[in-house]
Structure 1
Amino acid sequence: MRLPEEKQFQVVLRHTGRGHLATILVSLCTLGIMTSLSLMAVGIAIHESVAPYRAVLDDYDGAYLSFILGGLGLTGLTVHSLLVFCLLDFTNPERSDHFGRVSITIVISAGLTMIAGIICFAHIREVQSAFRSGLSFAMKNYKNNTMQKSAMDEVQMRYECCGIRNYRDWFNISWVNQSYVDKNRISKNMKNGEFKPDDVPFSCCDPSVFRPCIHEAVHTNSHHFNYNHAKNVTIFTSGCLEKIKNFFGPGLLFIMGGLVCCIALMDFGIAAGTRILYTSLLSAVKRGDEYGPGIGIVWPGRILVYRSSTDLRRA
């Protein structure tokens, strides 16, 4: 779609102005190369942050986001490098002819990058939902599945949490294998035909507490010497779901989503600057003096030839 002349955003640039614009664009493209590398790093970071906990992520596969970010980063690295090559000698006809195609590629890349940033924000709720159902499943299979047990212990130790909402969640689940428990204790803690003691796994122990960890009979004060669970509990009291929400929500994915969107906005700016430089150069060439003033435009339209400050004509 071509905009009529009167609606175009027009900038008159002389050779010196085009040189300054090219220098700015080279600087931005150099930054773009670094941000493209950061996109690939972001994809790897998201993948590595989630990978250790796949056992407690219910039907979640975030690999596609990592692949999207990695692919966009590789594309951005290629396009920005090519644009720097063209800008270093922008008056060279063989190089300047590529400006149009490169700027279109950058616009497409920027649009896809913006979509990837939005996906990062959308992933926050998806990850939280997967962890909520996955943690519940892991707790229920803690005594029967070694992989689930190991993953749940890893989550609780890394995020310094216990249970889903709090450590009491373990009291409502038959997570202890009765083969390793005294029969008298089993009979005292049977509830609805299931062994549900006031115990929590060792991974709930808080290492910052000086007292040896009490993770069995947590609410049975008489079972321990000089102990009151209401005052000096030795385990993590925060639930894992809240800790994970804080990490992936306001933390990792939110920051990364904002970073990716900022990269997309910068690429839109680079594309607009490249378009202005390219059309200004074409305008000057059509005027018969490639070092003279030329009119740069952003949106698709006919190249305008600069005649005077009050006279703009179509080429």
Structure 2
Amino acid sequence: MAVLKVKFTKTKRDKLAQILWILNWVSVVSGAILFSLGLFLKIEIRKRSEVMAKGDVNSVPNMLISVGVIACIINFLGGKICYDCTDINKFNRWKMVMLPYIVCTFCFTFCILVGGIMCYTMRNELEESLYLGLRDAIKFYKDTDIPGRCFLKKTIDALQIRFQCCGNNGFRDWFEVQWVSVRYLDMASRDVLDRLKSNVDGKFLVDGVPFSCCNPNSPRPCIQYQLTNNSAHYNYDFLTEELNIWIKGCREALLDYYTDIMRSIGITVLIIWCFELSVLTGVRYLQTAMSNVLLLGDPQSDSEGWLLENSFVETAKYNISVIKNLGKANQISSVSGINDPNMNVQTVNYGQETVPTKSIPTT
């Protein structure tokens, strides 16, 4: 029994073909939107590539760009097919192409759904990439004279000012790295030498942060050094001075920024997927209805269209049997290749069974 069977008159078939022709052109625009969203996300990720570790964070934008290009091509072809379906003679030329086209469109529509879901599932990969990238960037903050790292200081400072954040997880991350270059340290100073000798790695560690961590909303001048020493500053308590520097870590700030972008993109992609699915459904009805017109032989007659010719269970069983038959055919061909070509095979009947026997080769 056919699934979701609908009866079409000649007028309804023509209207369906015309509507689908328009919708396919709209789908070309939606494909361009997918391409633009993927390109926008890729550019946004590349802007902060210096503070991201290499990973699969580009998988979502690459997926959207690829799906967008394929959408433009497939829907352009679908518009041409639907336009020709108003004429039975022109449809006859597309009859052999329609089913493969529908199968390819179904796979492409499924890829759109996957792309939309990926926008909501890549948060963990993005968080790990930001954590590792920011950790290394902060570590090399002082290396302004080393090629390949000389712009990291500018990148980190601009990042902390732009996103109102400090450090990787928080401002205390700056306490664990030497972020002041050796060229700006007075090696004749006893205080500097004591700090260099105070840890095993010989680093100049201070309980201070770069200027870009300062919060301009603070009512007092920004305190960058000796942040945890209350006695070093007048009327100061580092536990209550929340406005002095940014409290939020840059990993959290960037993660929220990209999450908002991908959430918006994901909603748009899912809306496009629903639209593409409706177009695919209409094309399937048009294909089955026009095929039945060819069987009837009268272009003016009514015809029936459906999504599946048989029920879901019967269709699944048929496809499984086809796959099994293909597997058996491969096994038989592999076994027949092992047989000796000089051996003659005879069959002997035993009741209802036929047993193959091998005869001795004749010389």
| TM-score class normalised by the smaller sequence | 0.7 to 0.9
1:104-125 CA-to-partner distances (Å, cap 9, x unmatched) read 2311211222223333333221
Secondary structure of the corresponding residue to residue 305 of structure 2? strand
Q: What CA distance in whole angstroms lies between the structure 2 residues aligned with 1:225 and 1:187?
A: 27
Total equivalences in the alignment: 295
Q: What pairs with 1:140-289 in structure 2 (closer than 5 Å)?
A: 140-144=139-143, 145-182=149-186, 183=189, 185-186=191-192, 189=195, 191-192=198-199, 193-209=202-218, 211-221=220-230, 223-224=232-233, 228-229=237-238, 230-231=240-241, 233-249=243-259, 251-289=260-298
Residue in 2 that maps onto 1:113: 112
**Structure ranking higher on relative contact order (CA contacts 8 Å, 6+ apart):** 1
Cα shift at 1:38:
1.3
Out of 57-66 and 33-42, give the one that drifted further.
57-66
Asked whether 1:31 is paired with 2:30, we answer: no
Q: What CA distance in whole angstroms lies between the structure 1 residues aligned with 2:12 and 2:285?
A: 11
Secondary structure of the corresponding residue to residue 48 of structure 2? helix
Q: What CA distance in whole angstroms lies between the structure 2 residues aligned with 1:232 and 1:242?
A: 17
Q: What CA distance in whole angstroms lies between the structure 1 residues aligned with 2:79 and 2:126?
A: 38
Q: What CA distance in whole angstroms lies between the structure 2 residues aligned with 1:298 and 1:161?
A: 54
Residue in 2 that maps onto 1:71: 66
Residue 233 to residue 186, structure 1, CA distance change in 2 (3 Å): farther
Structure 2 gaps of 5+ residues are 144-148, 311-363
Secondary structure of the corresponding residue to residue 32 of structure 1? helix
Cα shift at 1:220:
4.1
Residue 300 to residue 116, structure 1, CA distance change in 2 (3 Å): farther
Q: What CA distance in whole angstroms lies between the structure 2 residues aligned with 1:31 and 1:247?
A: 31
Residue in 1 that maps onto 2:346: none
Cα shift at 1:210:
6.0
Residue 291 to residue 154, structure 1, CA distance change in 2 (3 Å): farther
Residue 141 to residue 22, structure 1, CA distance change in 2 (3 Å): same
Matched residues, percent identical? 26
Cα shift at 1:188:
6.7
Cα shift at 1:74:
1.1
Q: What CA distance in whole angstroms lies between the structure 2 residues aligned with 1:181 and 1:300?
A: 81
Answer yes or no: is the 8 Å Cα contact 1:104–1:271 preserved in 2.
Answer: no
Cα shift at 1:47:
1.1
TM-score by length of 2: 0.72
